Amino acid sequence: MTIPPTSTSIPVQRSTEALDPNHADLDRLDPLALVQAFADDQRAAVEAVRSATPALARVVEAALPRLESGGRLVYVGAGTSGRLGVLDATELTPTFSWPPERAVPLIAGGERAIRQAVEGAEDDAAAGANDVRAANVGPGDVLIALAASGTTPYVLGAVEAARSLGALTVGIANNPGTPLLAAVDCPVALDTGPEVISGSTRLKAGTAQKIALNTLSSALMVRLGKVYGNLMVDVRTSNAKLEDRAVRLTCHGAGVSESEARAALAQAGGSVKTALVMLRLGLSVQEAEARLAAAGGHARAALGEG
């Protein structure tokens, strides 16, 4: 596969780089008006994601079979986009007990780039391809490529390598008609337009990417059985706050007292899902775990609710 030309070879119309005529006097605003300008402009991020919901739903449908078969989510980006990918990948483990080895964030410039800019890293297409190969990306994996501009060479190099290795590729960009969206299996355009501070895509472009990632990964986790009703039943109880949350979830889902919930969770090793099945069906830990395994980890199916 050949990557479509990048911004270095042909001009690409990028609305994220356009000047916003509504904020030409931004530096003259008083604090209240300044904050209102930034806050009001963020509404466009929500609307951009709402417009992209059909595309995001197609990603869920395409990605689900690979993840059900043990595949990984691999995030690729540079700068703000790369950091957002790192954040989404990191949060899947405590929220849904998603194995950390199955959420792989790749960022231009490596881990150092999470905290500081690594000059020129995003311009290296070969580095993107090499990082994908080093992560052993393969046919079972889903690569989520993020670039506000839609032209970042590091990201485009990663996409080309991932597609050649058989992975499902997803592209999220804030400019329609850009090379990234043309290069992937599942394009998602978040058309957020010009920024209040011209060209600063850490603003509403970044917000739209964050919302899209939250939406996409959360929808996948729901479909994978990590949620019962709207209860976060696969939460990892790694601290006191999350232990208390697990108790509340178990009380609500099973309709039991706090003491009953705590006792069941202790037997279930902190697993809300297992505790729910135990309490609702009067089963032992082993019986509840076996029932969940037979249901593919879906609590509703394990409870016989279809």
pLDDT in tens, 15-52: 887 778 888 899 999 999 999 999 999 999 999 999 99
Residue 13 pLDDT > 70, yes or no? no
- Catalytic residues, by residue number, are 91, 122
Give 153-186 pLDDT, tens digit per residue. 999 999 999 999 999 999 999 999 999 999 999 9
Residue 7 pLDDT > 50, yes or no? no
Amino acid 24: pLDDT: 87
At 237, is the pLDDT very low, low, confident or very high (cuts 50, 70, 90)?
Answer: confident
What the chain holds in terms of domains, given with CATH numbers, is 25-223 (3.40.50.10490), 240-302 (1.10.8.1080)
Residue 8 pLDDT > 50, yes or no? no
Query: To the nearest whole percent, how much of the chain has pLDDT over 70?
Result: 95
φ, ψ of residue 166 in degrees (nearest 5)? 90, 5
Amino acid 19: pLDDT: 78
| Spatial separation of the C-alpha atoms in residues 110 and 122, rounded to whole Å | 11
Give 53-80 pLDDT, tens digit per residue. 999 999 999 999 999 999 999 999 999 9
Residue 10 pLDDT > 70, yes or no? no
Average pLDDT of the chain to the nearest whole number = 93
Amino acid 4: pLDDT: 46
Q: In what order do the strands lie in the sheet with 186-189?
A: 103-107, 73-77, 142-147, 168-173, 186-189
Residue 5 pLDDT > 80, yes or no? no
Query: To the nearest whole percent, how much of the chain has pLDDT over 90?
Result: 86
Helix (H) or strand (E) holding 274: helix 272-281
| Spatial separation of the C-alpha atoms in residues 188 and 181, rounded to whole Å | 7
Kindly report the three-state secondary structure assignment for every residue of 134-169: HCCCCCCCEEEEEECCCCCHHHHHHHHHHHHCCCEE
Query: 242: buried, middle or exposed (CB in 10 Å: 19+, 13-18, 0-12)?
Result: middle
Amino acid 14: pLDDT: 80
Q: Mean per-residue pLDDT for 259-265?
A: 96
Give 189-208 pLDDT, tens digit per residue. 999 999 999 888 999 999 99
Amino acid 12: pLDDT: 60
| Terminal C-alpha separation, the chain | 43
